[in-house]
Amino acid sequence: MTTVLAFLITLAVLIVFHEFGHYLVARMAGVRVLRFSIGFGQIMARRLDRRGTEWALSAIPLGGYVKMLDEREGAVPPEQLHQAFNRKGVGARAAIVAAGPLANFLLAILLFWGLFMVGVPVAKPVLGDPPSQSAAAMAGIQRGETVLGVNGEKTQSWQDLHWMVLKNALRNGTITLETTDAAGHYHDRHLQATTADESLERDPLQALGLVQYLPPLPPVIGHLTADGPAQRAGLRTGDRVWTVDSQTVELWQDLVRKVRAAPGRALDLRIERDGQPLEIRITPTIVQEEGQAIGRIGAAPRVDPAIMAPYLGESRYAPWQALQHAVVRTWELSAFSLEMLGRMLIGQASLKNLSGPITIADYAGQSAQGGLASFVAFLALVSVSLGVLNLLPVPLLDGGHLLYYLAELVTGRPVPEKTQEIGQKIGMGLLALLMFFALYNDLQRLFAG
């Protein structure tokens, strides 16, 4: 229910903001808006305002539209011709069309601005032991090193590190981490990035062997995934695990290693609950990670805030600085999205990176469970993606219409109706193909997980 509700809220916010951009600029340009619909298909509810605009809620919530007075879609009374969309100049029409994607970028800026002003909890970029033979291990990274910068950009949090490594993974070059160790010595760690495809299909930090440092934690259950193996087996929050298959477990990391090594195989746990010993048998579910089957039970450790305090911080800025950071983050995400799309088109990045509604719904649910700040950051990210997608020069999308208006400016006359019809068919085919790959990837991730 959390996932469904979070997905519906995501759709509602993004669609309303996008379509309201079209609506507002159309009104400013003197165009009469006949209908503002959230969703497609059969209208489920409607209300007519005093300006004659019908506000509607339709059956299929995967989008929306603003219907304007237009001679190409029906007869227009002579006294209303000056309010018809097609009678407006090319500049006004372009502004109305561009307003939707620009509203999505504005929404992202506002959301990031709010987050940066209010402050969000962040993890400091402290590194743990890298896996042997990984790029991080070969670069000489040691447990406890703190990352100060990536390729000259300052890094203040683990989230910053993740984003900067992701950006640099597209270049397939050397990634230089500026670090400091516990003794205060500075190092330049040069990591040879894996291929962009590999780094993007996997977690980019994981692909390089960059592991977040976690202080030693006792094997006490702090959180259980709903209907996960641990919860079904009878584990509860606060349970302390003493042994797994008669082998003593002293740290949470020990428990994780034993669970990962037993995908689909029953494990006998001896635990302590309220001072009483209990025996529990649990079978880790099988999960594919880097082509290898590992076990998971859907449990997280209880974390003492005092233990984690030295490794946590808060990202907070004054209003003007927060706005600057918000604009920069939105710009960087937009540029990254375009670069990713370009690389997919020329075969330098896999189409597996495309995501559809199932994956978006899953991420919406996960982010909502992570708290308000996590969900707001997710909304901002998806809003940027929606804005970029709609500006692509593909007929049926806003970018396709803008392409027609650019041609009209150059030639001095509108693009012929026949050409537009052909373009719409091509655009429909391209979008159908894009949706096919996105849904295919969604289903693969769903069944693989």
Q: Are residues 179 and 273 in the same domain?
A: no
Q: Predicted confidence band at 370 (pLDDT cuts at 50, 70, 90)?
A: confident
Tokens of 436: 């096919």
Residue 82 lies in a domain: no
Where among 167, 183, 215 does a domain terminate? 215
Reduced to 3 states, what is the DSSP secondary structure of residue 87? helix
Domain end residue (candidates: 302, 322, 349): 302
Count of domains for the chain? 3
Q: Is the model's pTM score more than 0.85?
A: no
In a domain, 412, yes or no: yes
Triad 268, 270, 271: Cα angle to 5°: 130
Q: Are residues 22 and 110 in the same domain?
A: yes
**What does the pLDDT read at residue 235?**
93
Residue 321 lies in a domain: no
Q: Point out the least confidently predicted range of 70-84, 97-111, 196-210, 294-308.
A: 196-210
Give the domain extent around 21.
Answer: 2-29+88-116+378-448
Does pLDDT of 234 surpass 80?
yes
> Measured between alpha carbons, how far is 168 from 339 in angstroms, rounded to an integer?
12
98-102, 120-124, 125-129, 397-401: the lowest-pLDDT one = 120-124
Of 19, 201, 279, 290, catalytic: 19
What is the average pLDDT across 385-407?
91
pLDDT at 199: 44
178 assigned to active site: no
Instruction: Give the sign of the dihedral formed by CA 360, CA 366, CA 368, CA 371.
Output: negative
**What is the SS3 assignment for 443?**
helix
Region 407-423: what's the mean pLDDT?
Answer: 88
Query: Does 209 lie in the same domain as 229?
Result: no
Q: Looking at the predicted structure, is the pLDDT value of residue 428 above 80? A: yes
User: Are 112 and 6 members of one domain?
Assistant: yes
Distance CA 194, CA 211 (A): 16
**Has residue 394 got a pLDDT over 80?**
yes
Same domain, yes or no: 98 and 181: no
Q: Both 9 and 112 in a single domain?
A: yes
- Residues 103, 204, single domain; the answer is no
pLDDT, one tens digit per residue, over 8-60 is 888 889 999 999 999 999 999 999 999 999 988 899 999 999 988 999 999 88
The reply to whether 183 and 144 lie within a common domain is yes
Residue 140 lies in a domain: yes
Contacts of the segment 55-61: beta carbons below 8 A, 24+ positions apart: 61/8, 61/11, 61/12, 61/15
